[in-house]
Structure 1
Amino acid sequence: MDSLPPAPSDARWTLDAPPWLGRTSTPRARVIIDNDFSGDPDDLYQLVHHLLSPSVEIRLVVASHLAPNDPFDDAPDTAANAEAVVRGVFSRMGLESTGIIVRGASAALPGPGRPADSVAARAIIAEAMREDADTPLYYAAGGGLTDLATALLLEPRIATRLTLIWIGGPEHADLAFPPPAAMPIEYNLLIDVEAGRVVMGPLGPTIWQVPRDVYRQCLVSDVELRARVRATGALGAYLYDEVQLVHDRAISERRGPAETYALGDSPLVLLTALQSLFEADPSSSRYSLRPTPELTAEGAYRPVAGARPMRVYTRVDVRLMFEDFYLKLREFSRWQEGQG
């Protein structure tokens, strides 16, 4: 690998000028990241990967809430905890662009058609309604959809100004089977079913969905994480340790051990930052195109003839996705530790 510019003693940087690249990047798309960062640590891998991807401009990082009594974090305000986690990641990376971090609502929508107003929802509206940007806007959501649903309820015009890429929702019956002992309502949808109903409803945005059967494809092995993540600087060690905490808890609860972990939020990076150069699209992944279904209160799909089309991804390019992450992490860590 080519040598990198040496890092300053405190290794500080901003998103508009990643110093290890040695050149100016020109993003081809804007991205709003929305994730429940105090939950499953797969979102930390996705966040770091996105922040290290120069082809997209990260406009907001929305720290969103979990479902009540979530086993990862059962605190009263998981959105506040999520924000603290994001700020901790930025600090570990020496990333000074903290102005993009916004906190979402602390709980789900209070009822049908009723928004849960938040700083994040207002920021989403402001970004979507900009008239001074001509790059496409992707809303990359790896958890619940409360803040996007609220933004849609407050300003319905944003539906035509962004594309939602969502890690969530159950299998589609004609495409895949649910896993053994599947949750009655898929994990991310369970965070706020009513928000999912708003977003998938007739006034929602264009959707690219990565349902449960597909995000479960994103398996990495423990030896892979040890060799490619833990051994890659302080940031890599932190990311690895966060996954190990989950493995250790699973063992204590007699649900482990396992030699794999699903980094299920990583397709958010694959489908936005790793599109083809010509005729831009996530061309190495596969999807089915179908009318956007209605979501029932029980979290199931109800077909709607003639509804706007949505992509339902059936396979994602895990080789490209994970190799890109490992190498970007290595490149960044070498710069951060002054090994260029």
Structure 2
Amino acid sequence: MAEGRLRIVSDNDYSGDPDGLFQLVHHALSPSTELVTVIGSHLREGDAFDPSETTADNAAALASDYLGRVGRGDVPVVAGSNVALTDRRTPHDSAGARAIIAAVHADDPRPLYVTLGAGLTELASAWLLDPTIAGKLTAVWIGGAEHPGVESPPGAPAAEYNTAIDPIAAQVVLNDSDLQVWQVPRTSYRQTLASFTEMKAHLTGPVGRDLVGVLESLQERIRSFGLDIGETYILGDSPLVLLTALQSSFEAWPSSSESAVLPMPAINDDGSYSDAPVPGRTVRVWHRLDCALMMRDLYAKLAGV
């Protein structure tokens, strides 16, 4: 695999929602990016059918497994903290946090993106351990509720799922730090619908069939609780690939998607947004995603793998 024109530290709860595994193998097969390190991060207690699946250690083990399946066993994988932060001043000095710091301070001029598909525990801890990392990376986060003026999905909680994994870490990264953040909030990542019929038609290689099978197994487990999730699935972590690996050739930028720089929302202790934003702090919010490019590229890269 070529070195790539930009570097990625990929942080995700790979043992949770299977969309993270789609993101991981897609990034691993993208020659424009170098996966510097993959970090397995934790889920909230009770957010998995098996309690052992909530740990960062389990996420890291799954990440290693899938990287090996696509011929990328060379990528270093570490586990983050198994628990959320307890206050806004005390980091968890984990291997995941240290991996972010090491990537920032590596002697490498290429842009560094830290892609985050779950909670923000590791990035918050990295900044608390070493605030000098700010200005030297772009954090791309799948998470956060809708901004003012955007309607929430019916029945959606005020605290979006990934924010609720570690609300204190969200407060540290979004409100306390000076880190540059690109946000893909709930209203945006819900655009990434893929039908089971479409995925089965295109993902015909061994890894692709396995990933679809994981989704179908989850679909059946959810049905056993009396909930029918229909015939589509939200591959909500895949924008992490779209916004990094699939940037334009010249003047590199995610030019087929649309964003706006907005006031940074202040995060309440429960993970919901406060009525007033953080004074003087902004966030780039990606509000329209080129899902067609993202899915076509995913299917082509996984063909036969």
Q: TM-score range by the shorter chain?
A: over 0.9
Equivalent-residue separation in structure 2 for 1:214 and 1:149 (angstroms): 23
Equivalent-residue separation in structure 1 for 2:136 and 2:36 (angstroms): 14
Q: Which residue of 2 aligns with 1:129?
A: 105
Q: Which residue of 2 aligns with 1:43?
A: 20
Equivalent-residue separation in structure 1 for 2:50 and 2:283 (angstroms): 32
TM superposition shift of 1:317: 0.3
Q: Identity over the aligned pairs, expressed in percent? A: 46
> What is the one-letter code of the residue matched to 2:214?
E
SS at match of 2:286: strand
> What is the one-letter code of the residue matched to 1:69?
G
Closer/same/farther in 2, CA of residues 72 and 59 from structure 1, 3 Å limit: farther
Contact (CA 8 Å) 1:222, 1:259: kept in 2 or not? yes
Q: Which residue of 1 aligns with 2:157?
A: 183
TM superposition shift of 1:256: 0.6
Aligned: 1:316 with 2:292:
no
Aligned: 1:71 with 2:48:
yes
| RMSD, aligned CA | 1.5
Contact (CA 8 Å) 1:34, 1:143: kept in 2 or not? yes
Q: Which residue of 1 aligns with 2:301?
A: 328
Mean Cα deviation higher: 89-98 or 315-324: 89-98
Q: Which residue of 1 aligns with 2:217?
A: 245
> What is the one-letter code of the residue matched to 1:104?
G
Equivalent-residue separation in structure 1 for 2:6 and 2:283 (angstroms): 20
2:260 to 280, 288, 296: 288
Contact (CA 8 Å) 1:28, 1:55: kept in 2 or not? yes
Aligned: 1:270 with 2:242:
yes
Higher strand proportion (structure 1 or 2): 2
> What is the one-letter code of the residue matched to 2:133?
I
2:188 to 199, 208, 214: 214
Aligned: 1:27 with 2:27:
no
Closer/same/farther in 2, CA of residues 324 and 210 from structure 1, 3 Å limit: same
Aligned: 1:114 with 2:90:
yes
Larger-gyration structure (1/2) = 1
Q: Which residue of 2 aligns with 1:234?
A: 206
> What is the one-letter code of the residue matched to 2:193?
L
Equivalent-residue separation in structure 2 for 1:254 and 1:304 (angstroms): 39
Aligned: 1:171 with 2:146:
yes
Closer/same/farther in 2, CA of residues 43 and 72 from structure 1, 3 Å limit: farther
Equivalent-residue separation in structure 2 for 1:171 and 1:317 (angstroms): 19
Closer/same/farther in 2, CA of residues 275 and 72 from structure 1, 3 Å limit: farther
SS at match of 1:171: coil
User: Where do 1:297-312 residues align within 5 Å?
Assistant: 297-302=269-274, 303-304=276-277, 306-312=279-285
Closer/same/farther in 2, CA of residues 244 and 113 from structure 1, 3 Å limit: same
Equivalent-residue separation in structure 1 for 2:127 and 2:234 (angstroms): 31
Give the TM-score normalised by structure 1.
Answer: 0.86
Closer/same/farther in 2, CA of residues 305 and 154 from structure 1, 3 Å limit: closer
TM superposition shift of 1:95: 2.6
Equivalent-residue separation in structure 2 for 1:103 and 1:316 (angstroms): 30
Closer/same/farther in 2, CA of residues 202 and 237 from structure 1, 3 Å limit: same
Contact (CA 8 Å) 1:287, 1:314: kept in 2 or not? yes
1:142 to 93, 113, 117: 117
Equivalent-residue separation in structure 2 for 1:72 and 1:201 (angstroms): 33
Contact (CA 8 Å) 2:91, 2:128: kept in 1 or not? yes
Give the TM-score normalised by structure 2.
Answer: 0.95
Q: Which residue of 1 aligns with 2:38?
A: 61
Return 5+ residue gaps in structure 2 as ranges: none
Equivalent-residue separation in structure 1 for 2:255 and 2:120 (angstroms): 26
SS at match of 1:283: coil
Q: Residues 9-29 of structure 1, C-alpha deviation per residue, up to 9 Å, x if partnerless?
A: xxxxxxxx3xxxxxxx45111
Equivalent-residue separation in structure 1 for 2:39 and 2:163 (angstroms): 17
Mean Cα deviation higher: 291-300 or 137-146: 291-300
